[in-house]
């Protein structure tokens, strides 16, 4: 059984984390471990995801309290394939970049980095100032993959849902999880 930690922070774009959890249910061999911040729950409700906090938590196999830095996923002895933070707020990025693990999302991410496990951060902020870019640079130097949720228009998406699925699917690619909804670039496309 593969294990993947999903962190959902309070940045706009809670749908990315929700869809990641939903898409991961299609993999029989993947167990999901969720940490969702209080701000993320508020954002998910405000953005009209149609899911209550309990419904979001129900998408994961295991759920941990945001403040429980003593949870199993806060230890390097917890074996997993890595962690996806979707979306990743600038506050969470800052904690990760500076190893300031005052909540479980940041602590679990820091553990992934120290154990040399894949950490993918779907940083959600625009425009960016030099401080944001420096944080992304530092997180990358620490071993994280910075993957802002940028839509791919070569897929000719017909809805926001298709854009979200493509973006989340590409993030899951980073863990070797290939979801059938992802449309791949082919040589059939014209320039």
What is the tens place of the pLDDT at every residue in 123-160?
999 999 999 999 999 999 999 999 999 999 999 999 99
Whole-number Cα distances in Å, 38 to 9, 53, 88, 117: 8, 9, 14, 26
Assigned superfamily of 1-172? Flavin prenyltransferase-like (3.40.50.1950)
Task: Detail the residues annotated as belonging to a binding site for dimethylallyl phosphate.
Answer: 154, 170
pLDDT tens digits, residue range 63-95? 999 999 999 999 999 999 999 999 999 999 999
pTM of the entire structure?
0.95
Cis peptide before 64 (omega within 30 of 0): no
Binding residues: 10-12, 37, 89-92, 124, 154, 170
Annotated binding site for FMN: 10-12, 37, 89-92, 124
CA distances to 13, 48, 60, 68, 132 from 126, in Å: 12, 21, 29, 30, 10
d(CA 134, CA 75): 27
- What one-character DSSP code corresponds to residue 50? S
């Amino acid at each position: 059984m593969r294990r993947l930690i999903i962190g959902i922070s309070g940045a706009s774009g809670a749908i990315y984390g929700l869809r990641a959890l939903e898409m991961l249910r299609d993999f029989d061999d993947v167990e999901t471990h969720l940490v969702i911040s209080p701000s993320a729950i508020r954002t998910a409700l405000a953005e009209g995801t149609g899911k209550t906090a309990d419904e979001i938590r129900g998408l994961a196999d295991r759920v941990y309290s945001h403040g429980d830095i003593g949870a199993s996923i806060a230890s390097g002895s917890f074996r997993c394939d890595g962690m996806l933070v979707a979306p990743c707020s600038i506050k969470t990025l800052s904690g990760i970049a500076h190893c300031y693990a005052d909540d479980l999302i940041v602590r679990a991410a820091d553990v992934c980095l120290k154990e040399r496990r894949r950490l993918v951060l779907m940083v959600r902020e625009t425009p960016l100032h030099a401080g944001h870019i420096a944080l992304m640079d530092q997180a990358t130097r620490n071993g994280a993959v910075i993957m802002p949720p940028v839509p791919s228009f070569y897929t000719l998406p017909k809805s926001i849902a298709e854009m979200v699925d493509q973006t989340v699917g590409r993030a899951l690619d980073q863990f070797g999880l290939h979801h059938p909804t992802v449309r791949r670039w082919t040589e059939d496309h014209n320039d």
